Amino acid sequence: MILVEKASVEDISLIQKIAHTTWYPTFKDILSEQQIEYMLEMMYSTSSLKEQIEVKNHVFFIAKQGGLSLGFMSIELNYNHKPKTKIHKIYILPTAQGKGIGNVLMQKAEEFALEHKQDSITLNVNRFNNAIGFYQKQGYQNIRTENIDIGKGYVMEDYVFEKPL
């Protein structure tokens, strides 16, 4: 059975461990090692994660099975002051992918959004990420393309996906 638990600042080191284990295999054929390192520091440093949780009110969930933490997700309610939930992050350890954990986390995002009277869920995905098919199977549709300057000459080349609730 896969359990999904709300995370807190006490779980930051666990979130960092999963991110660092997941990012290299996920993005090694898409991004340079330098960009991966830059983005990991930018998004997953202790100070950045504390800010996401304590200031930006991102809600983190950790998926566990058999006492092992296998993945995490972060979401933001009322994204851009609209009744829309944004999935900022969803990562599953490479050894745990394909075992339904992503499905359980996506279902949790939808349940949480509906509990908070949200109309839709949105997320960004790198245009070259293999997860695109996963999101489409979940009912998400590509609504636009977006390039986001993240500094130091790096750009995130994303699709924006959305699903009405």
Q: What is the mean pLDDT of the chain?
A: 97
* Mean pLDDT value of segment 15-40: 96
CA atoms within 13 Å, Cβ hemisphere of 78: 5
Share of the chain above pLDDT 70, in %: 100
Share of the chain above pLDDT 90, in %: 100
Q: CB-based burial of residue 138 (10 Å sphere; 0-12 exposed, 13-18 middle, 19+ buried)?
A: middle
* Mean pLDDT value of segment 82-110: 97
Among candidates 143, 112, 151, 1, which has minimal Cα distance to 63? 1
Q: Any residues with CB less than 8 A from the CB of 161 and at least 6 apart, and which? A: 122, 123, 124, 125, 135, 136, 140, 141, 142, 143
* Mean pLDDT value of segment 31-46: 97
Band of pLDDT at residue 113, cut at 50, 70 and 90 = very high
pTM, full prediction: 0.95
Band of pLDDT at residue 94, cut at 50, 70 and 90 = very high
* Mean pLDDT value of segment 84-88: 98
Question: From CA 72, how far away is CA 101, in angstroms rounded?
Answer: 9
Please, what are the domains in the chain? 2-164 (3.40.630.30)
Helix then strand count (H, E) for the chain reads 5, 7
Band of pLDDT at residue 164, cut at 50, 70 and 90 = very high
Task: Show the tokens assigned to 84.
Answer: 């829309």
Q: For the segment 69-81, what is each residue's pLDDT rounded down to a tens digit?
A: 999 999 999 999 9
- Between β-strands 68-76 and 120-126, what pairing exists: parallel, antiparallel or unpaired? unpaired
* Mean pLDDT value of segment 34-57: 97
pLDDT at 42: 96
pLDDT at 4: 98
What are the DSSP E strand ranges found in the chain?
A: 2-6, 59-65, 68-76, 84-92, 120-126, 141-151, 154-164
pLDDT at 108: 98
Task: Show the tokens assigned to 67.
Answer: 């006492």
Among candidates 99, 95, 9, 89, which has minimal Cα distance to 46? 9
Task: Output the CA–CA distances (angstroms, integers) from residue 161 to 4, 62, 120, in the order listed.
Answer: 23, 22, 10
